[in-house]
């Protein structure tokens, strides 16, 4: 009997350990889409919900996004979405933060530098389908009533961006559906949320126990931001004095290389051709306090005026995409390189 009990108990304990494995089809996997888990938990689906976009549409959408044109029927010539830009001119398709629950501009820059990602004015399209509102904050100041339809509608947000931001033509319905299908492949995945053991356990339990689903849904949603905040800010009142912050040239370097050069190197999307020559830095340095449209303060904070269809324009950097401190860091880097 004395021997029997421990053996019996160890079988019992082993058995307990096996229980979660028996229900493993209900366990979340690291690469499972958040949207799918929320769906299974019974969360309300957004109006842009596409559970199983077709591979054909995804491929068309990817081509539209990265190359700027695609034709639905082979052999037909495709018309470019924009003469000036492709979507990747201003948006990454990669994740831009390790911790998706915050929106710190310096963390975004550090992450971009670590992963050699462009540092751009637009929010990443990774996770766009997980957001519930678009053109947030001050964007209504730029696009007025156009924002109203796009605020809570991703299809309209894509259309608005194609026409206004990318200075292109109106998208056809199939093009919007294709772009949306592609965006559905870029949704957040479970591993992106860096969930701890207990959190994962709650989600796994909630997948079989409906009483826990509200709690699990709230937990998941607390781990990422459901919108990209946008705060417009003005250039400093004196361009000479700048924002009165000590600039750090080392931090300005990745801003220049991953931000400015993304569009200006070799005149990629702009007539202004910038590189890492002394000539480029001297030009920018001389213009900093000139109060002209070539000052980094002017273009950084106001961009250049978009005239639909005409010349390519430069979008402004909101405070969330470049802080005043980062602007001074950029200035310090330009000054340092111009003096070399
Ligand atoms: C010249 C720059 C530029 C180009 C080109 C561009 N966008 Fe944008 N887009 C922006 C900016 C700036 C915003 C403002 C909101 C943000 O992204 O934070 C924006 C917003 C968006 C939003 C809403 C994002 C949000 O969370 O508020 C979507 C969706 C979008 N763009 C899709 C596209 C698609 C699809 C294309 C290609 C057809 C495209 N964009 C091309 C600059 C651009
Ligand atoms: C998304 C693409 C993009 C990014 C990123 C970008 N620019 Fe621009 N920039 C443009 C476009 C387009 C113009 C319009 C000028 C033209 O081509 O005629 C422009 C214009 C400018 C001008 C004004 C030229 C003039 O005299 O009219 C300056 C200066 C400038 N950019 C500097 C910068 C700096 C500095 C950065 C980095 C902080 C930067 N740009 C980032 C696209 C970009």
276 compared with 306, residue with greater pLDDT: 276
Distance (angstroms) between ligand 1 centre and the Cα of 181 equals 16
Q: Atom 20 in ligand 2: which residue has the minimum CA distance? A: 314
Q: pLDDT of 141-171, one tens digit each?
A: 999 999 999 999 999 999 999 999 999 999 9
Q: Determine how many CB atoms are found less than 10 A away from the CB of residue 244.
A: 10
Q: pLDDT of 88-109, one tens digit each?
A: 999 999 999 999 999 999 999 9
CA contacts within 13 A on the Cβ side of 79: 6
What's the mean per-residue pLDDT of the chain? 92
Instruction: List, chain by chain if needed, residues with CB within 6 Å of any ligand 1 atom.
Output: 65, 81, 85, 87, 89-91, 121-123, 128, 131, 134-135, 139, 154, 157-158, 161-162, 165-166, 179, 228, 230, 315
Q: What is the rounded CA–CA span in Å between residue 250 and residue 81?
A: 38
Distance (angstroms) between ligand 2 centre and the Cα of 162 equals 19
Distance (angstroms) between ligand 2 centre and the Cα of 233 equals 17
> Who's near 41: CB < 8 A, 6+ residues apart?
203, 206, 207, 213, 216, 217, 220
Q: Is 327 in the pocket of ligand 2 (CB under 6 A)?
A: no
Q: pLDDT of 53-72, one tens digit each?
A: 999 999 999 999 999 999 98
Q: pLDDT of 234-248, one tens digit each?
A: 999 999 999 999 999
In the predicted structure, residue 73 carries a pLDDT above the cut 90: no
Q: Compute the C-alpha angle 134/139/145, nearest 5°.
A: 85
Q: What is the rounded CA–CA span in Å between residue 91 and residue 120?
A: 7
**Measured between alpha carbons, how far is residue 141 from residues 147, 151, 248, 295 in Å?**
9, 13, 32, 22
Nearest ligand 2 atom, CA 284: 29
Q: Which of 59, 199, 222, 194 is nearest to 130 (CA)?
A: 222
Q: Determine how many CB atoms are found less than 10 A away from the CB of residue 89.
A: 22
pLDDT band at 309 (very low <50, low <70, confident <90, very high): low
pLDDT band at 18 (very low <50, low <70, confident <90, very high): very low
In the predicted structure, residue 176 carries a pLDDT above the cut 50: yes
pLDDT at 6: 52
> Are the CB atoms for 66 and 80 separated by under 8 Å?
no
pLDDT at 17: 44
Distance (angstroms) between ligand 2 centre and the Cα of 151 equals 27
């Amino acid at each position: 009997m004395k021997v029997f009990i421990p053996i019996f108990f160890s079988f019992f304990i082993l058995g307990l350990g096996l229980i979660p494995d028996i229900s493993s089809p209900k366990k979340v996997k690291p690469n499972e889409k958040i949207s799918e888990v929320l769906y299974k938990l019974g969360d309300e689906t957004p109006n842009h919900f596409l559970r199983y976009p077709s591979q054909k549409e995804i491929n068309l959408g990817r081509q539209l996004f990265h190359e700027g044109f695609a034709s639905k029927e082979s052999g037909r010539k495709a018309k470019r979405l924009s003469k000036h830009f492709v979507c990747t001119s201003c948006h990454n398709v990669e994740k831009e933060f390790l911790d998706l629950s915050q929106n710190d501009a310096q963390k975004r820059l550090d992450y971009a530098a670590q992963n050699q990602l462009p540092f751009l004015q637009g929010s990443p399209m990774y996770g766009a389908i997980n957001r519930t509102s678009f053109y947030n904050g001050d964007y209504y100041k730029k696009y007025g009533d156009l924002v109203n339809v796009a605020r809570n509608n991703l299809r309209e947000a894509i259309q608005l961006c194609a026409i206004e931001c990318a200075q292109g033509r109106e998208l056809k319905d199939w093009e919007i559906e294709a772009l949306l299908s592609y965006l559905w492949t870029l949704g957040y995945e479970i591993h992106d949320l860096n969930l701890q053991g207990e959190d994962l356990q709650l989600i796994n339990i909630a997948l079989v126990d409906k009483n826990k689903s509200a709690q699990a849904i709230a937990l998941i949603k607390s781990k990422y931001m459901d919108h990209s905040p946008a705060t417009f800010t003005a250039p400093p009142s004196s361009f000479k004095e700048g924002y009165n912050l000590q600039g750090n040239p080392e931090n300005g370097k990745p801003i220049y290389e991953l931000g400015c050069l993304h569009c200006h190197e070799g005149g990629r999307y702009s007539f202004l051709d910038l590189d890492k020559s002394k000539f480029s830095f001297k030009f920018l340095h001389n213009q900093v306090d000139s109060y002209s449209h070539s000052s980094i303060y002017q273009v950084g904070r106001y961009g250049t005026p978009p005239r639909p269809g005409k010349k390519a324009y430069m979008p402004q950097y909101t405070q969330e995409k470049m802080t005043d401190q980062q602007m001074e860091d950029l200035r310090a880097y330009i000054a340092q390189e111009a003096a070399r």
